[in-house]
Copies of this chain bind each other. A is one copy, B any other.
């Protein structure tokens, strides 16, 4: 099937032109060049209205989130992003919506030097599927499967902000403080893929994943793939002042443990690599927080608070 005029009309002219794109939007497929010595990294994510974003989310934010969640997957692989393809399911061709969406998409694509190389539109419920492609040097991709017992567990940034942001957007929670409200809604609607951290963790991290479904959900993918267990200290979970100001300490921990959409990276580092980690994070001007340690209790996640077990299960979350 051909790309419909929507892609050419709204997106083509705005797209940046990378030198490694030989043929972009407007043919049966895109033709691109991979740099020598690099492997290709590919990831796909779909955002559906009402499931992955609220129906009243501004189109600009939807576009940027659709890019960000895909680039976050590339970041978790240690990859540098290059190209995206877009499949857009739209209830109707709403010109105003498409202008705002395509502007948001292209602003974000330009910011990350990513070129839209093709796409498809269909008439249906609002959904955005992006396939992102990037590079990583041969044998330097970060995976989920190479962590070892004894490795330390880190996360970038702060956790739980997008979770509280969602509660605010859903009007389940109303904060007095407008600055905190704006900050938390921004964390929900405009997540930042941790691309710099991802690339600087190459050869340093033993495993890496992005936190899209919540810390407890996502760390289990590493534990499963690497056949390890983990102890996480909930007191060490990094939280923003906005989150701490807005809810009780135990609610904040719950958001940090279980809320998705933060798109921070969780990664593991062996004892020998810790020196390199500090240097790499400093040179990238990025902060990561130590939150726990891996062990040999395969598949078990132990949460501790002030050296006592932290009872997560009774709070009604899925027990791992």
Residues on B with beta carbons closer than 8 Å to the beta carbon of A46 = 87, 89, 120, 122, 129
Of all chain B residues, the one with the shortest Cβ separation from A79 is B29
Residue of B nearest to A36 (CB): B36
Complex contacts, A125 vs chain B, CB 8 Å: 124-125
Partner of A1, one of B41, B45, B85, B136: B45
For residue A145, which residue of chain B has the nearest CB? B27
- This chain's copy number in the assembly: 2
Also in contact, A2 and B221, with CB within 8 A (given A29-B74, A77-B28): yes
List 9 extra interface pairs beyond A27-B144, A40-B40, A129-B129, CB under 8 A: A23-B143, A27-B225, A28-B209, A28-B210, A29-B42, A31-B77, A42-B118, A51-B122, A131-B131
Tell me which residues across on chain B come within 8 A of A213, comparing CB atoms.
Answer: 1-2
Q: Whole-angstrom distance from the CB of A135 to the nearest CB of chain B?
A: 10
Query: What sequence of 0s and 1s flags, for each residue 1-24 of chain A, a beta carbon within 8 Å of any chain B beta carbon?
Result: 110000000000000000000110
Residue of B nearest to A30 (CB): B42
Min CB distance A226 to B, Å, is: 12
Chain B residues closer than 8 Å to A133, beta-carbon distance: 40, 42
Is the beta-carbon distance between A212 and B43 smaller than 8 angstroms? no
User: For residue A213, which residue of chain B has the nearest CB?
Assistant: B2
Within 8 Å by CB of A39, from B22, B48, B124, B134, lies B22
Q: Does A319 sit within 8 A of B, measured CB to CB?
A: no
Interchain CB contact under 8 A, A118 and B28: no
Q: How far is the CB of A16 from chain B (nearest CB, A)?
A: 17
Which 3 A-B pairs have CB atoms at the shortest separation, nearest pair first?
A29-B43, A28-B76, A131-B131
Encode A40-71 as 1/0 by CB contact (under 8 A) with B: 11111110100110000000000000000100
